[in-house]
Amino acid sequence: MAAPRKSTTGSRAEAQALERSRDLPNTRTAPDVESLKRAFAEHLQYSQGKDEHSATSLDRYFAAAYAVRDRLMRRWLQTQQAWYREDAKRVYYLSLEFLMGRLMENNLINLGLRDNLKAALADLGIDLADLLEQEPDAGLGNGGLGRLAACFLDSMATLSLPAHGYGIRYEFGIFDQELRSGYQVERPEGWLRFGCAWEVPRPEYVVPVRLYGRTEHYRGEGGALRVRWVDGRRVHGMPYDVPIAGYGPGAAVNTLRLWRSRASQELDLADFNAGDYLRAVEEKDVSENITKVLYPNDLTVMGKELRLQQQYFFVACSIHDILLRHLKTHDDLRRLPDRVAIQLNDTHPSIAIAELMRVLVDLHDLPWDEAWEICRAVFGYTNHTLLPEALERWSVDLFGRVLPRHLEIVYELNRRFLDACRGPGKVPEEAIARMSLIEEGSPKQVRMANLAVVGSHSVNGVAALHTELLRTELFRDFAALWPGKFNNKTNGVTPRRWVLAANPELARTLTEVLGPGWVTDAGELRRLEPLAEDAGFRRLFRQVKRQNKARLAEIVRADGGLELDVDSIFDVQVKRIHEYKRQTLAILRVVAEYLRMKGDPTYRPPPRSYLFGGKAAPGYAMAKAIIKLVNSVADVVNHDPDVRGRIAVCFLRNFRVSLAERIYPAADLSEQISTAGTEASGTGNMKFALNGALTVGTLDGANVELREAVGAENFFLFGLTVEGVQALRRRGYAPREIERTDATVRAVLEAVAGGRFSPEEPGLFRPIVDSLLGNDPYLVLADFADYLACQDRVSRAWAEPEAWTRMAILNTARSGRFSSDRTIREYADEIWQVRSTAID
């Protein structure tokens, strides 16, 4: 079944030559300024074929990128040799999304080349910052889940863990967001248009994958019942490897392997020989469509056939690859759990459980029970959401058509699992119905979350509160059966990208006072605490923030023309647009502020700039309406001379990793205002806090732990708790009652629904207001009054700049726990049992 891998064993002479080249004084990859200059000049000529007259900015970016890439390669090889030599247990992180953003600056920083390259380019009259802007974001994800995977890769390499990421090389990542008259318009984003300097195609490692077809049951050797999957379509998975450099001298360079679908030649040739050239080419199209585009939905899943193909395609390629690597050095698949841990980033890759069963049982002839034990020992599953609409289910019909053998396997797993649950004194029948891998009803559906729970030895939530809710609500039946399986791994973010790269001024200040250790040991930030009492340091901290605000203001000006006042509060809510995240709550408060200022000229809170940003799923009408509302409120408020200089509203177009890197460092206030019990963790909250923003937040997700870490007195808390939310829902939430009794709510809703922000189309925002007054599951109006009161506390706190700065410093000082290094150590020790191996 496997395409032959054309790796050969080289001659002794070749090995000696390579050995010598490694020992030689290393001019090609030396890190000094002169060598970098020379490398740049050579790549401009010999890789780009350009001279100083013809080179574009893009050519210069590529020349510099190749110079950096050369310096990655040797450590990459060394790392892979070390994993092989040590026979290290490896961890595989399977994810449909890796939201990497730009790669060049992080590679420079992690390799310790940034200053030298900056100097080398400066000597040539080139500004490094300008070059870095040439690189498009690798936007291969939607939001939190995809960015978490990217932060994890950075931490795993920095901690020198033998880790591999597996994902899809989408030709089109998350769409570019444009605004037309305040409405979101999606544009395809072709990040590969000019090629990617950081990927290495590996056509010699293609993997064949089957889809559709049917199963044949037959008697094998000794009369045993066996199954094979036949017919259907064949496609090829071609890997593209992206090196992932850890930070610092002892760190690893790991691999992110992204699969691209290609037409399988066998099929093309068969059609071609039959004289149907056009059909052959069409078939090629269908095959290559699988990895064309990222699904831009987060949290609302629809059972699209192509999405199932994507999931299975990349899983099949990855499992094949993992087993091949294992079998290179071990002949026994039963030892797999000692050598391999596979982490499933949500249920999206959970078909891997059925695929590993298929490969072990059908192809390698292992007994079912043994195969199952191996699966459960190998897989871990991370859940990222409690929202019911986000739980993946596939109709049995569709699933069985695309993956006929896997459906049989799921049914057999389910039969055995439910049999084991039944019996006197065991699991009650109604719990069994909830735990079944198949949801009865029409249509019947495969429950991917249940498959992932049953097929893993570990199920983790992404914040303490979220994990508690998994245990007591979503997976309560499973938790009763297997209490030890459920565990918490609170999310984290990488301080390399989110502080060192994004906030160089803050980073320099931190290193000056703390030394460089905080970059890999974020707990060191705690030593900043006493400096919160130092007036000189506070001044410095404020200066850094002010510079960052000026830098963001310049970006906003260049993109939209709005002039932000850098002395105003930068009050920021950036994240995907979703009703549960309650951008509506924030914008309704802006309206309330605006109306209050209009009605009472003596009301003079400190000036604020309200910055919003985020993408709406293209099919999510309510989210798109919210974007339009923000832009419409901005239009009115920003043009009203009565409030000029006191309030500004700005929707930041096309929120993405590279823009986020400019936003978090510039924020004074971080809005984390989801309904308690809905946001699994949040990770933006951590990026803000590390960069010295104060949080206005509910007791939801990781906000709970963030508040504990920074201290309740340095966090603006409001809103219902999870228990409060549950109690209110039981009592019956009556938003009309709130409207009747709260004059501010009434005035705000009247303004929005009555067309004050949409005079051309007075009814435009009626649906938003109707939904808030109807069966709103997110209880926006229930938290409204408390949110306003809380924001008044914020305004009063801002009026005391020294006290504010003290709080901001303490937020940075006490957020070290939210480094993804801490998170990854916990995964490595408690789920994967993999160890760091230093690279010499």
Q: Which residues bind ligand 26Q (CB under 6 A)?
A: 142-145, 148, 295, 297-299, 301, 307, 348, 384-385, 390, 392, 462, 491, 679-683, 701
Nearest to 169 by CA among 104, 102, 97: 97
Question: How far, in Å, CA of 236 to CA of 223, rounded?
Answer: 33
Residue in 198, 204, 201, 202 with CA at minimum distance from that of residue 243: 198
Classified as helix, coil or strand, 335 is: helix
Q: Is 731 a catalytic residue?
A: no
Of the two residues 318 and 488, which places its CB atom closer to ligand 26Q in the complex? 488
- What amino acid occupies position 55? A
How do 225-230 and 669-672 pair as beta strands? unpaired
* Minimum gap (Å) between residue 44 Cβ and ligand 26Q: 40
Structure tokens at 122: 């400066």
Out of 43, 257, 405, 581, pick the active-site residue: 581
| Contact call for residues 828 and 91 (beta carbons, < 8 A) | yes
Least Å distance, CB 707 to ligand 26Q, is: 16
254 or 491: whose CB is closer to ligand 26Q?
Answer: 491
3 state SS of 331: coil
Which residues on adjacent β-strands are paired with residue 692? none
Q: At what angle do helices 114-123 and 104-111 cross, to 10 degrees?
A: 110
Q: Which residue is catalytic, options 339, 497, 576, 707?
A: 576
Tokens at 592, concatenated: 């309330």
Segments in 363-483 forming alpha helices (H): 368-378, 396-402, 404-421, 429-435, 448-454, 464-469, 476-481
Q: Is 164 a catalytic residue?
A: no
Of 385, 683, 805, 837, which is the active-site residue? 683
Which tokens belong to 322? 């993992």
Minimum CB separation of residue 427 from ligand 26Q in Å reads 29
- State the nearest-atom distance from the C-beta of 492 to ligand 26Q, in Å: 10
Cβ nearer to ligand 26Q, comparing 463 with 738: 463
Residue among 140 and 507 whose Cβ is closer to ligand 26Q: 140
Q: Rounded to the nearest whole angstrom, what is the least distance from the CB of residue 696 to ligand 26Q in the complex?
A: 17
Q: Give which of 177, 203, 174 is closest to 190, Cα–Cα.
A: 174
Query: Residue 390 has which token pair?
Result: 């986000």
CA gap 772, 775 in Å, rounded: 7
In the complex with ligand 26Q, the residue whose CB is nearer, 387 or 421, is 387
Q: Is 384 a catalytic residue?
A: yes
CB of 585 to ligand 26Q, least distance (A): 17
User: Cα–Cα distance between 490 and 504 in angstroms, integer?
Assistant: 26
Q: Is 426 a catalytic residue?
A: no
Annotated catalytic residue within 89, 406, 485, 575 = 575
Phi and psi, residue 183, nearest 5°: -95, 145
For ligand 26Q, give the closer residue by CB, 458 or 491: 491
* CB closer to ligand 26Q, 345 vs 548: 345
Tell how strand 163-168 and strand 90-94 pair up.
Answer: parallel
CB of 273 to ligand 26Q, least distance (A): 38
Contact 482, 440 (CB under 8 A): no
| Residue with smaller CB distance to ligand 26Q, 654 or 681 | 681
- CB neighbour list of residue 77: distance below 8 Å, 6 or more residues apart: none
Distance CA 356, CA 374 (A): 9
**Lookup: tokens for 516:** 């460089």
Residue 75 or 307: the one with the smaller Cβ distance to ligand 26Q is 307
Beta carbons of 391 and 450 less than 8 angstroms apart: no
Closest separation in Å from C-beta 244 to ligand 26Q? 19
Tokens of 241: 């490897």
Cβ–Cβ under 8 Å, residues 757 and 713:
no
Q: Which residues pair with 3 in a beta bridge?
A: none
Nearest Cα to Cα of residue 656 among 251, 150, 89: 150
Residue in the shown chain whose Cβ atom is closest to ligand 26Q = 144
Catalytic residue, candidates 102, 348, 384, 582: 384
Task: Give the DSSP H/E element, type plus range, for residue 98.
Answer: strand 98-101
485 is catalytic: no
Least distance to ligand 26Q, CB of residue 747, Å: 33
C-beta of 450 vs 491, nearer to ligand 26Q: 491
Q: Positive or negative, the Cα torsion across 835, 247, 496, 59?
A: negative
Comparison of 589 and 615: residue with beta carbon closer to ligand 26Q: 615
How many CA atoms does the CB half-sphere of 732 hold within 13 Å?
3
Q: Are 238 and 259 in contact (CB under 8 A)?
A: yes
d(CA 497, CA 664): 11
Which residue number, 309 or 385, has a Cβ lying nearer to ligand 26Q?
385
- The answer to whether residue 406 is catalytic is no
DSSP for residue 138 = E
**Which residues touch 59 (CB under 8 Å, ≥6 apart)?**
44, 48, 50
On the question of a cis peptide bond just before residue 443, with omega within 30 degrees of 0, the verdict is: yes
Amino acid at 746: R
Cα–Cα–Cα angle for 692, 662, 56, rounded to 5 degrees:
155
SS3 state at 401:
helix
Give the nearest distance from C-beta 641 to ligand 26Q in angstroms: 40
**Strand 669-672 to 694-697 pairing:** parallel
The active-site residue out of 257, 284, 653, 687 is 687
Determine the number of helices (DSSP H) and then strands (DSSP E) in the chain.
34, 25
User: In the complex with ligand 26Q, which residue's Cβ is closer, 321 or 821?
Assistant: 821
Nearest to 392 by CA among 96, 148, 166, 168: 96
CB of 262 to ligand 26Q, least distance (A): 23
In the DSSP assignment, the letter for residue 455 is T
> Minimum distance from CB of 98 to ligand 26Q (Å)?
12
Beta-bridge mates of residue 696 = 671, 716
Catalytic residue list: 384, 575-576, 581, 683, 687
